[in-house]
Every structure is written in structure tokens, then in C-alpha cells.
Structure 1
Amino acid sequence: MTSDVKKRIEELRQQLHAHGHRYYVLDDPVISDGEYDRLFQELLHLEAQYPESITADSPTQRVGGKPLKGFKTAEHIYPMLSLDNIFSRQGLLDFEEKLKRYLKGDTVLEYITEPKLDGLAVELVYENDRLVTGSTRGNGLIGEDVTEQLKTVPTIPLRLLATGEVAIPRQLIVRGEVFLPKKGFKQLNQRRKEEGLSLFANPRNAAAGSLRQLDPKVTAQRPLRFYAYSVATTEGVRCDTQFDLLAYLRSLGFAVSPLVCHCKSVDDVGGQFDLLVRKRHGLDYEIDGMVVKVNRFSLQQRFGNTARAPRWAVAWKFPAVQASTIIERVEFQVGRTGVVTPVAHLQPVEVDGAIVRRATLHNRDEVNKKDLRLHDTVLVQRAGDVIPEVVKAVVENRTGKEEAIVFPERCPECDGQLEQGVGEAAIRCTNLLCPAQKIQRLIYFAGKSGLDIEGLGKKHVEQLYSAGLIEDIADFFLLKKDQLILLDGWGEKSAQGVIQSIDKVKAPPLNTFIRALGIRYVGEVTAELIAGHYESLDELVQSKASELMAIEGIGPQVAESLVTFLRSEPFAKLLIKLDQAGVVVQSAGKSARPLDGRIFVFTGSLNHMTRNEAKQLVKSLGGKVVSSISGKVTDVVAGERAGGKLEKAQKLGLGLLAEEAFVGLIRNLQGR
């Protein structure tokens, strides 16, 4: 390949990147589609002649990936936190009041507001200006690697638009939302209807389903878009505010919401919310609220984060859209933890574009509080624009034919004993062998919140249970292809695929297995905490409630529920059966992470990052962070103005790290 050819290839790539940015991001093309196609074909021809010249960031490689066999996991260096919600102006005022109390002064707070897109949060990692990894949020710590799928989204730059005026760090981690415009959603569903395929329920589901296509070519056929809204860390980014950061991201080639607003007071924030409410339905994409962020980064760092959300940002959710209908009957459903929930069957009614036929009544206290009756005319809304619920009865419409909603005295599924715990609103079936609980636990175990067995959705699990092929979770691992083929709707390929999916999850990590059991009060975060403190499942089974409560974040309610479940006779029998089926639960805490076994204490103020960021980095690499000095501590990180902790650490002869040494250690372990 001559130098002239090499130069021409690079010129074509730069031109195509620039024209793609003008077309998809700026909506301001300066050449015709035909001219763009001519340049693209010329590049394709040259790369075909000189395949050694092809690079991952070439415009021709947006849809170049082969179908994947499955998604790999991607660990986030910095956690992708959630946002706390507010629902009113009073909530906004309370948010600001809390911030001002934290500052203990009269600091004037300025904010940035951004539409809260109803899409899928993703993270993009750029190294030396090139996109190297793209992943979903997942649980905030670990997501799925969907790099090849994200490369097909035209508003995601494969190469940053570097100019001499903009400094770009060697590694830049950009976060934002992938979404499907309303127009594209309608076209996609129309195409699926013509092909006889099932329709997507809403644009968010369609976007999520598109990114989870193993074949990037399928994703490329979906008109996905991306808006950037933050970076994982501002290190190396020369911006002091969120407003400056968004301008910086635009300069690098990212699409940013045009509805971002710089608000100089909390009153301005309220005005912007009112404006978004009016504009909402006229936009070509779904939004379900407005994100409010403190503008200045120095203040964001002072406020820090809680375990799950930043203190300096909230999501102000739109008021739910309501409609009136009639309660035709009430069904009592039994969940996996035994909770009996009243569900109203309604005359079908459209609520904000969706047909609502059922709505939760929550519990007996809610029914009594709202004075709901059979055949009542009621207002319903989609809570958070998703889950339908009954708001209130329209008392003025009563005719005298309405009837009281009578709650069952025994379990509607197994006729078992029902009880209501002290201080609890829910009534609960206490029979662990209740068929309804069993099937819900099976659905949960196989679903995304459990082991995520591909090909085993809710209807499939119900079918297997009805056919007598599964009674407990161990039976999943005893299924045979020949059994599945005999069932309605199954073929050789689907049966073989499910058996292979089951084989893939026969060695689940301890935290995943605990979570998948569906134990009351034990969710994803709790399972992570527990798994980090036990060598094996056997050791956990032998644990006492007092030992569990010694783990930070585990209270008596969780400990008691876990011990009761793990020590029960049904679970003991289940363990024997799982062992016979070849299931081996792996210790989540033994995953060869570089800081496993090391315990850190931080003292003094840090310059390179906030204390919270430093702690999260240690935890992400397997280390533990404690607040007090003891002989068990292996590393004491001393920043400026370190005090008594440093003196105590020196007396005990503990390992000391200056901040620079700590930053160097972390970067070294991350391979940066």
C-alpha cells in the first residue's frame, strides 16, 4: 500500500466521520446522500483491496461484527448510580433545602436540567480517541458488553472529533441514553406486523431488545439514537460545570439533548419543568420526567453520593396520566414470597397510549383507605408511566349496586394459613409448598433477576410446571431435550438451545445464586454483601443471624429471613438434589480480583478524586473499606491534613499510602 493510498483512506474516513456527524447529530448535512454513498463506496473498495488498512473505528465497520454466541459481562470502573425521584415542587424545595443544610452556608445553587429520556442507560469507553467498549448499566457495577451493537448507532462516534482546541484524556468514559424515536418505533412495529412478528409494547422495550440482539446486523436495522449526558469521572476533562461538560461532549461529536437548560435558581427549575410538561407529547422521543443536577462539579464532589444515588441530582417525574373505568372483579394473586395481592380487573381503558385491563390494589389497608368497591367507577394511572394502579373511587358515580371487596381468610391457591405480620400491610401465605409461590419462585429463578436462563420465559416455565417436568429449581438442571420436544411449541432447535443455556448456568456465582432463590428481603445488593463475606454456600448455610448482622448493611429482618430459609427442611433437600444434578455454586468472593483480602482506611482530604470515588474504586477491585483503624487493616491512604487515624496506624505499623501512591496503585491494577 503506497503512502498516497494510505493518505486517501485516512482522508475518506475523516470526511465520512464529519459528514455522518453533521447528518445524524447536527441535522445539518452539507452533501447529498448520493455524494456520501460515493465516498463510502470508495472507502469500501480501498479497504477491500488493502484489508490490512481496516481499523475498528472505520465508518465501514459500524455493522461489521459477526453474530455473538452470548454477551460477555463488562465491569464499570466507576459505578453507574441510580437517581432519587421527586414528584412535586415541594419535593424540589426539599431537595434544595437538604443541599443547603449540607453546605451549612448561604451558597447560591445553580442547576442544569435535562429531559429524562425513557431509554436504556449505557457507558462508552474511549481510549486514544477510539471507541473500545460499550456496555449496558446492568446492576450499576456490572453490565453486558454490547460494543458491536452500539457501534451501529449512528449518533455514537467511533472516533472522537479531536481538534487542537479541545484536550481529550487518554481514557474518556461517556454515559448517556440509547433510545428509539417515536417515528422509528411506529415504523419498526409496522414492519414486524407485516412479517407476522409480535409487536413491541413501547419504544423503551424496543430499544432494550435491539441492543440485546446477538447479531449486530439486526441492531443496525433499528433506528436507535444516543444522547450523551455525563462522564464517569471528570479527571482530565477541563470543565468546571455540567453545562460546560455538555458543550465539551458536543465538540467531541456526541449528540446532546437540545432541551438542556441552565437554571440560576430553583424557581427557574420549576419553570423549565412546566415547559417540558407542555412539550412532552410533541417530542419525537419518550421522556418521563426531568433530571435536575447541581451545575458546579466542585459542589457535586462536596455533596458526594449515597450507596445508590448522587446527593446532588434528582429525577423529577412527570405526573401520571389518568383515566376513568370500572372495577369488574378482583382477583387475589399469590407471589413468590407468599404475599397475597388484590388485582382489579377493569373495563379496558386507554391511559396515555396503552390499554389498561388490570391494576394493582396493593393491600387491604389501601383498599380500605381508598374505600374501593366492586363495580366502582375509579381513576387509574400508570405509576411511573408503567405499572397501572387505582388512584381513587369516583364516589359521585355510585348507584348503590357496588359491593365490598372481601379478602380471603385462607390462601386462594393452597388453602393454607394467612397471616399479617406486626407493622405490615400485606397478608401472606405461610406455606412454603404453596403451588403459587413455587411457580413464581421458579419463574424468578429462571428470569433476568435470577440465573437469566435464555429461552425460559414466564410462559415456558408455566408450561413446564403444568406438564409436571419441574417442581423445584433443581429440576431445571435435570431437563432433557427429548422431554422438551414433546411439548407444544417446541422444536429440535429451541429445545437444544434451552438445554445449552441451562448447562451454562450450572456453576453460578454465590451472589447470583442467593439472589435467584427469591428469599424475602434478599435482593441484588444484599446478595452481593452476603456473598462477599462467605467462602462457600455450605459456610453460608451454617451461619447464624448474629454473624449476618455483623455485615454492614444487613439488618435483623434480612438475617432472620435468610437463616430461616437456608435452615429449612425443603432447602436441605433441594441442596442434595442440586448436587446430584451437577450444580456447583461458586464463591463470588474468590474471583481473583487484585485487591481481594486487602482492607483500606482513608484519612485526610484527597485531591485527585472524592472520598466516595476512592472507596468505590477499591471495592470494584475486590478490596474492602472500613472507617476505623485496627490490626486487620492492610492499607491506610493518607491525604492532606490526615489526623488521629494516621498516628494510630503508624503506632500499629500498618501499611501507609500517600494519595499519589494510591492513585498509581489503582491505575496499575486497572492497566491504565
Structure 2
Amino acid sequence: MTRRDDLEVLAARATELREQVAHHARLYHEQDRPEIPDADFDAMVRELRAIEEEHPELAVEDSPAVAVGGAASATFEPVVHAEPMTSLDNAMDADELRSWHERVVRGLDGAAARLVTELKFDGLAMSLRYENGVLVQAATRGDGRVGEDVTANVRTIGDVPDQLDASAVTVPEVIEIRGEVYMPTTVFDELNESYLAAGERTLVNPRNAAAGSLRQKDPAMTAKRRLSFWAYQLGEVVGGPAFATHTETLDLIEALGLPVNGERRTFDDIDEVVAHCLERQEHRHDLGYEIDGVVVKVDDLAQRDRLGFTSRAPRWAIAYKFPPEERSTLLRDIQVSVGRTGRATPFAVLEPVFVGGSTVSMATLHNQDQVAVKDVRPGDTVIVRKAGDVIPEVVGPVLSMRPPDAEPWTFPTECPACGTPLVRPDDEADTRCVAPDCPAQRDQKVAYWASRGAMDIEGLGEQMVEKLTGAGLVRDPADLYALTVDQLVELERVGPTSARNLVDEIDRSRQRPLPKLLTALGVRHLGPAASQALAAEFHTLDGIMAASAEELAAVDGVGDVIAATVRTWFDQPVNQAFVERLRQAGLDFGDPEAAERAAARLAAIDQTLEGKAVVVTGTVPGFTREEA
């Protein structure tokens, strides 16, 4: 439901929530002195989880949203995946599923593709690494490139063998088996009943119960949660047999002794796939575990190689998401939040309602036009929908229940944070605060810079940012690198140790890699995936700054929209001055030698081809011999 231009607001909100959730989780689980009611804590966790699940590019490796009920994920060692654990694109209805299939057929030049369907389990993705048949490592997905080592906890899962079964097949030297850790619904219900009887806090839902269980410090606690595992994919394989199809890989996984879900099907007709998805949707609650869709994959591995990947997901697979659930509730108020780019976003304050697996108390209204089109008013009973079973939205009012005194809501004319008149450009749907010193924008820009998905400065959360900006010490992220211990200890409730730790954390952030720095700049539309692609292509920030919009757009995973916003951002004098201040502060702008080596390789290729004649045989459709 949220478009790319909504990411700034969501990223800033996620940063604030991570700080709050991590703080209160430490108080509750490690210090036994909670400051807020359990219901308030659960609401924050649900909101953060919704943002991260809907936008994986905003998620962080050690997010407290997936560590509910356990210690912070910093407890676990990082694991670099031998092959990335990518996410999947979604199809929200049958038309989108058919459109995906059409793209697959086009990508295969019209060839037919046999399709495999598997249930989309609502759990935690896991990669199991076996060497010479012995389990040596279990890692979470993390950001797809780097996960967390949870081997000790995974060993407590009965479905995961320590030793592979070599009785029927030859065990590869190295084999990574990917799948999903989940909590069966019967186990979830039994645990909650026991917690209620003991007067303890209950688990929120099976998915987060599984995630929290895997992140327990004590494997014995994980064992008590009775988790299960389904295998569905191979990762790295060394010394294994050759495979022609995905089905053959699943057969091997089963023969090695790991469980593969029996609900998978193969089809040659997309209409049959659609019918199967609808049938599974109708019976989604009949299983002993939770699912939120059906995954559809091309079976032939050679065809998969031809189709390849986008910057975030394989082209040969898609997740058909079940339609969202809907509920009615009271719209208490409509308020406006201002993000770090100045975008003023209206949101609904709701009477809490349980929908789509969680309690919803707020929902986005997107922009001024959407409020007018939907004609929702404070006091209305409204329909709330969880789009994709994750982010809540207001569909519209129940007009038959509208109070006679319900007045149309009017978008404010002034910024709620600074009082500056709001501006709406003629060609945009968004209304913005253009004040350069707006405290809401300033604080959120600094908080976003320090967030784990950006420069990852521990200890620099929303509250500390407010102290720094309120004291006039920080106006923008570049000011962080001039802070001293003496300045920090003058702030309220900041001691010498905390001050030294924060200065050290800020100093360490100077060496963050180029993709992190690019993300932290907060350029509109430029998320972690595109930042990674640009860094891999140009190697230095100076190289990116010098590139034309056309050169930027030519990078795989970037495109015209991102390229235009990046070029516009670097063309602005105020941003050029900001970048120069970062340079003077000693931040890592990339690897100039790598850029030089890349340029030398291109020059060598050009020299090799210079003066060569290229002969093409056959015909070129649409051209005569002379034209070709």
C-alpha cells in the first residue's frame, strides 16, 4: 500500500520505534523493571514489525522487532551467507500472478515453464550449513547478505538433524539447506494457556514467538518453545549431484532426513496455479501452522538461470499473498506527522482493533487527496484493512453509521512541528513543510543517519538526538563528528562514560562502507539495495557525484527515477557543502584504487576491440541486410 515516496516517513518512524522497543525490552527482560504497560510495548513491536515486513529494505539485521521475548540480537555472531538469501516479490491478486507468469514466458522467449507451488510459511527464514554431513552452522536471513549465528538454538529443534542421513544418497561435502522455522499453532495455544495460568505475558503470534525463541540467550529456553522446521530450498552445494529441477533438490533434501512440506504441487498451466492458490486461501486456517500465501516457482533450474534476479528478488519466483482481512472500528482522530524530507502525512488514530493477526491503533491515510476521496471524518466508523496482512490502512467510512455531527476533516495549513505554512506543488500529491530549520525534519534526519540501516551509531537514538539538537550542538549529521565529551556531559542525564561511548561510536562510524553512507544521506528513493548497486559500480562517492543521470540509470537495480533524484540531490549547493563537511570529518568515501582498476579494465577491453570488424550471420528481425 505504501509507495516508494512514503519510505522516508516509515524509515524515520522505524528508527524511533527501534530505540523505544530495544530500551523497554532491556528493562523488561534483563532488568525486570518495565516502565510501560505490556499493551503499550506490544503496540510498538507490532508497528515496527509491520514496517519491516512490508519494506525489507528498511529492516535491520538485529531489529528488536524479531527479538521479542529474548535478548538483543547483538548477542549472536554475524554470518556472511555464501549465497544471498533474497526475498520474494509479491502478487496481491490473480491478475498480478498472471502478469508475473507473462513476464516469465517473455523472459524465456515464449518457452513453457513448469511451475511448482509451495505454501508460504509465516515463520523465520533459516539457512542450515552441513559439512561432511554434520550441522556446523544455522543462520538467520538478516539483511539477505549477513545473518546471525543461532546454531546452538537451532540444535534444539527436533526436525533439524545434527547428522544427515547417508543411507539412500551420497552426502555432499558442503550443503546449505534453507527453510522456515515456525511454531505450530497447537504449541502456540498451549504455551499461551500456560502463561495465562501463571499470570505471565502471552506470546503475540506464532511467527514472532518463533523469532523470539530463536534469539534466546539460553538454548534451553528455545527448546521449551518446541519449534519446527520446513525445508524448501538449497543454497551453496559443494560436491553434490547435478540437478535439473527444483523438485529434484527437494527430493534430495528429504532423502537427507530433513522435512519437506507435502503440500507442494506442480502445474503446467497458470490457470491451474491460480485455482490452487484460491483453494489454499480458502483453507488457510485448516493447517497446523500459519501461512500467509503461496510461493510459485519455476521448476527448471536452467530456466531460472536465464531469468535471473532483480536487485532484490528472483524473477523466477513470486509470493501470492492472501487477501487482507478487514474489520470496522472507530476513527478517533486524524493527525499529521512530518518526516525528514518535510512530507506531511495524515494518519488515522483508531479505537484499537484486532485485524490481520495484530491489534491496530493507527493507520496511514497517505495524503490530502486520499482523505478527501475516502471522505473519512473523526467520529466515523471505518473499515480497516491490513494490506498484504501487514501495514494497516483505512478503506473508507461506514456511511450508515456516520454521526450527524461528523464534520469533514481539513488538512492543516501550517506545519504541526514548526508552524511554517505547508506547501503543495502543483504536480505533486504530497504537502510539505519547506522550512530548513523545522525541528521534526532536523531531528529525523539525524536519527535516520544514526540508524542501524544507515551509519549504525549505537546510543544515538531519538531521545539523545533531541537533546543534541535542543542544546544547539547538532543541526545536521555532519555536526555529530565535531562533538566532544566535554560538550556531551553538559547535557541532562549524560555521564562521562556515556559521553565517551557515544563519541567513540560516532568516531567508528567514519569507517562505515560506502553503501551505508549512501543510504544515510537520505536521498529520496535511494534505499540500501540501490546504494549497494551504485557503490559496486562506481566504488567512490566522488565517482557517483560525477556520474550523469544516464550513467546512474544504467546501473542494474537503479533506473531512471532513482537516478534523477540522486543527480538532483548532488546538484544542490547545500548538499555539496554538506558532503564536503563529511569529507573534512574523515568519513570513508570509498576505494579510489578500485575505481582506477575498473577504469583500467574497461580501457583494456576497448583497446582489445579497437579496429576489429564484427561479422553477424543470420537475420535481424525488422531490418534489411543493408540496414543491419
TM-score normalized with structure 1 length: 0.68
- Aligned partner of residue 289 in structure 1, secondary structure: strand
The answer to whether the 8 Å contact 1:168/1:237 transfers is no
The answer to whether the 8 Å contact 1:180/1:204 transfers is yes
The answer to whether the 8 Å contact 1:508/1:586 transfers is no
Task: Calculate the aligned-residue CA RMSD, in Å.
Answer: 4.4
**Equivalent residue for 1:630?**
606
Per-residue CA shift, 1:591-648, capped at 9, x if unaligned? Answer: 99xx974999xxxxxxxxxxxxxxxxxxxxxxx9x9x963489xxxxxxxxx9699xx
In the TM superposition, residue 127 of structure 1 has moved relative to its aligned partner by 2.6
| Counterpart residue identity of residue 84, structure 2 | P
- Aligned partner of residue 511 in structure 2, secondary structure: coil
Out of 83, 88, 91, the position equivalent to 1:83 is 88
- Aligned partner of residue 273 in structure 2, secondary structure: helix
In 2 relative to 1, CA 297–327 (structure 1 residues): closer, same or farther, beyond 3 Å? same
**Equivalent residue for 1:168?**
171
User: 1-side partners of 2:109 and 2:152: how far apart?
Assistant: 48
Matches within 5 A, 1:448-597: 448-454=452-458, 458=462, 461=465, 471-474=475-478, 478=483, 480=485, 502=506, 504-534=508-538, 536-537=540-541, 548=552, 551=555, 554=558, 557-559=561-563, 561-562=565-566, 565-566=569-570, 584-585=587-588, 587=590, 597=598
In 2 relative to 1, CA 202–451 (structure 1 residues): closer, same or farther, beyond 3 Å? farther
User: 1-side partners of 2:159 and 2:309: how far apart?
Assistant: 30
Matches within 5 A, 1:652-663: none
User: 1-side partners of 2:228 and 2:586: how far apart?
Assistant: 41
User: 1-side partners of 2:521 and 2:470: how far apart?
Assistant: 21
**Equivalent residue for 1:138?**
142
**Equivalent residue for 2:442?**
438
In the TM superposition, residue 181 of structure 1 has moved relative to its aligned partner by 3.7
Larger Rg: 1
In the TM superposition, residue 345 of structure 1 has moved relative to its aligned partner by 0.9
Deviates more, 1:245-254 or 1:265-274: 265-274
Deviates more, 1:567-576 or 1:280-289: 567-576
| Counterpart residue identity of residue 181, structure 2 | V
Per-residue CA shift, 1:261-305, capped at 9, x if unaligned? Answer: 334543443343234324433444332111112233343334333
Deviates more, 1:174-183 or 1:518-527: 174-183
Out of 308, 311, 315, the position equivalent to 1:307 is 311
- Aligned partner of residue 606 in structure 2, secondary structure: coil
Out of 326, 331, 335, the position equivalent to 1:327 is 331
The answer to whether the 8 Å contact 1:485/1:492 transfers is no
1:377 has 2:381 as partner:
yes
In the TM superposition, residue 384 of structure 1 has moved relative to its aligned partner by 1.8
User: How many matched pairs?
Assistant: 541
In 2 relative to 1, CA 291–332 (structure 1 residues): closer, same or farther, beyond 3 Å? same
Out of 379, 389, 395, the position equivalent to 2:393 is 389
In 2 relative to 1, CA 208–423 (structure 1 residues): closer, same or farther, beyond 3 Å? farther
**Equivalent residue for 1:116?**
120
In 2 relative to 1, CA 502–211 (structure 1 residues): closer, same or farther, beyond 3 Å? farther
In the TM superposition, residue 330 of structure 1 has moved relative to its aligned partner by 0.8
In the TM superposition, residue 139 of structure 1 has moved relative to its aligned partner by 3.5
Matches within 5 A, 1:350-369: 350-369=354-373
User: 2-side partners of 1:102 and 1:560: how far apart?
Assistant: 28
User: 1-side partners of 2:504 and 2:325: how far apart?
Assistant: 44
Per-residue CA shift, 1:171-200, capped at 9, x if unaligned? Answer: 222222233444555677788899999876
In 2 relative to 1, CA 311–584 (structure 1 residues): closer, same or farther, beyond 3 Å? closer
| Counterpart residue identity of residue 233, structure 2 | S
**Equivalent residue for 2:281?**
277
In 2 relative to 1, CA 510–149 (structure 1 residues): closer, same or farther, beyond 3 Å? farther
- Aligned partner of residue 630 in structure 1, secondary structure: helix
- Aligned partner of residue 253 in structure 1, secondary structure: coil
Matches within 5 A, 1:177-192: 177-185=180-188
The answer to whether the 8 Å contact 1:88/1:316 transfers is yes
User: 1-side partners of 2:501 and 2:184: how far apart?
Assistant: 33
User: 1-side partners of 2:346 and 2:319: how far apart?
Assistant: 30
Per-residue CA shift, 1:498-539, capped at 9, x if unaligned? Answer: 676555534211211221232212111221233235555466
In the TM superposition, residue 464 of structure 1 has moved relative to its aligned partner by 6.3
The answer to whether the 8 Å contact 1:346/1:359 transfers is yes
In 2 relative to 1, CA 560–301 (structure 1 residues): closer, same or farther, beyond 3 Å? closer
| Counterpart residue identity of residue 317, structure 2 | A
User: 1-side partners of 2:511 and 2:349: how far apart?
Assistant: 41
**Equivalent residue for 2:34?**
none
Out of 250, 253, 274, the position equivalent to 1:249 is 253
Deviates more, 1:514-523 or 1:120-129: 120-129
The answer to whether the 8 Å contact 1:289/1:318 transfers is yes
Out of 93, 104, 108, the position equivalent to 2:98 is 93
In 2 relative to 1, CA 469–215 (structure 1 residues): closer, same or farther, beyond 3 Å? farther
**Equivalent residue for 1:347?**
351
In the TM superposition, residue 463 of structure 1 has moved relative to its aligned partner by 6.6
User: 2-side partners of 1:458 and 1:195: how far apart?
Assistant: 36
User: 2-side partners of 1:413 and 1:421: how far apart?
Assistant: 20
| Counterpart residue identity of residue 166, structure 1 | V
| Counterpart residue identity of residue 225, structure 1 | S
Tell me, which stretches of 5 or more residues in structure 1 are unaligned?
Answer: 1-66, 601-623, 634-642, 647-672
**Equivalent residue for 1:232?**
235
In 2 relative to 1, CA 87–556 (structure 1 residues): closer, same or farther, beyond 3 Å? closer
Tell me which of the two structures has the higher relative contact order, counting C-alpha pairs closer than 8 angstroms and 6 or more residues apart.
Answer: 2
In 2 relative to 1, CA 523–588 (structure 1 residues): closer, same or farther, beyond 3 Å? farther
Per-residue CA shift, 1:417-450, capped at 9, x if unaligned? Answer: 5334564322222234321112222332232322
Per-residue CA shift, 1:40-88, capped at 9, x if unaligned? Answer: xxxxxxxxxxxxxxxxxxxxxxxxxxx9976554433433332221122
